[in-house]
Amino acid sequence: MKKLVASVMLFLPAALFAQSPFDGTWKVNLDASKPSPEPLVFSVSNGIYDCTSCVPAIHVKADGSDQPVTGLSHVTAAVNEIDSHTITIVVKKDGKTVSEQTRTASEDERTLHVKVTVYPPQSAKPSIEETTSERIGKPVLGANTTSGSWKTRKMNGSEGLLLVTYKESAGELSESTPTGSSWTAKYDGEYYPVKGSYHADSVSLKKMKDRTIELSFKAGGNIVRVNTITISSDGRIMTIVSESKLSGRVSTWVATRQ
């Protein structure tokens, strides 16, 4: 009987035993990635913080107190003008700190450095991300020098923000990250719960090609982001084209298999 089973297995297609091209841990290569070219546009003037590129747009007092953000349930932003070149922003959801950031303009007002500490809902360890942006256009007269239009030129991030692990089994794909977010979904277009994320509460999964899948994320019943993920033919590179359905921004992230 054992010989018969072994003989049958010899003639089964190799694909039945092949590992999914998505399986494994991947790390985003920020140098090879391309964030959306759309600029971040905001100003701090006369005690008011306005972010016109944010979705929804933010208009709050810049007095350091928690201000409700119109259009985002249970979310507050505390904007504080430290000096003429520096502001801080603390974002909270349901009273819990989501992120703390410091934006600092250079003395020549041409570059902006942003350092963000992110506090994931399911992780006790915060993560750090930093960006350096270049001013587009002229400074805003009479406003804090951080004000204006800025285009991202350089990015850095804690490893926890750059890693993602996928595992495919029995027609399902699972995703997990070091920051505590996770989900498991079937390739049927139905929506499945996302755990440990501030940005989405459900995800649907579709297989477009053998090495390409589409992930559609919802928050509060609305589609907020669609990611198209493709694995290279050699299985070493993952390319994620991420489209925000809220802002229309499209970014391309490149990750390598670890």
CATH number at residue 107: 2.40.128
**What does the radius of gyration of the chain's CA atoms come to, in whole angstroms?**
22
Query: Is 8 among the domain residues?
Result: no
144 and 46 share a domain? yes
Query: Is 149 among the domain residues?
Result: yes
- Asked if 114 contacts 100 with a C-beta cutoff of 8 angstroms, the reply is no
136 and 54 share a domain? yes
Which pLDDT score, from 0 to 100, does residue 3 have?
A: 44
152 and 45 share a domain? yes
In terms of Cα–Cα distance, which of 230, 203, 223 is closest to 215?
203
Mean pLDDT of 242-255: 96
31 and 45 share a domain? no
β-pair partners for 136: 149
100 and 73 share a domain? yes
Q: What is the mean pLDDT of the chain?
A: 91
Whether pLDDT at 103 is above 50? yes
Query: Is 6 among the domain residues?
Result: no
Query: Is 54 among the domain residues?
Result: yes
In whole angstroms, give the CA distance from residue 229 to residue 254. 10
Q: What are all long-range contacts of 205-210, with beta carbons under 8 Å and residues at least 24 apart?
A: 205/173, 210/21
In whole angstroms, give the CA distance from residue 183 to residue 174. 6
Q: Place 5 in a pLDDT band, splitting at 50, 70 and 90.
A: very low
User: Could you give the number of structural domains in the chain?
Assistant: 2
Query: Is 9 among the domain residues?
Result: no
CATH number at residue 242: 2.40.128.20
**What is the per-residue pLDDT across 75-101, written as a single tens digit (0 to 9) for each?**
999 999 999 999 999 999 999 999 999
Nearest 10 degrees: Cα torsion 29, 91, 216, 40: -60
Question: Which residues 6+ apart lie within 8 Å of 159 measured at CB?
Answer: 27, 178
- Asked if 114 contacts 103 with a C-beta cutoff of 8 angstroms, the reply is yes
Domain end residue (candidates: 107, 142, 157): 157
In whole angstroms, give the CA distance from residue 115 to residue 127. 11
Domain end residue (candidates: 157, 174, 189): 157
Whether pLDDT at 13 is above 60? no
- For residue 72, the enclosing domain spans 40-157
Question: How do beta strands 250-257 and 163-169 pair?
Answer: unpaired
Bond preceding residue 178 cis, omega within 30 of 0? no
45 and 93 share a domain? yes
142 and 194 share a domain? no
Phi, psi for residue 16 in degrees, rounded to 5: -65, -25
Question: Helices (DSSP H) in 89-235: which residue ranges?
Answer: 159-162
In whole angstroms, give the CA distance from residue 61 to residue 79. 7
Domain end residue (candidates: 140, 157, 174): 157
Query: Is 241 among the domain residues?
Result: yes
153 and 55 share a domain? yes
Exposed e or buried b for every residue in 34-68, given b needs 16+ CB within 10 A?
A: ebbebbbbbbbeeeebbbeebeeebebebeeeebe
58 and 145 share a domain? yes
Query: Is 14 among the domain residues?
Result: no
50 and 136 share a domain? yes
Query: Is 13 among the domain residues?
Result: no
208 and 247 share a domain? yes
Mean pLDDT of 183-189: 97
Token code pair at residue 236: 């070493």
Q: Place 135 in a pLDDT band, splitting at 50, 70 and 90.
A: very high
Mean pLDDT of 22-45: 96
Mean pLDDT of 202-223: 96
54 and 138 share a domain? yes
Q: How many CB atoms lie within 10 A of CB 18?
A: 9
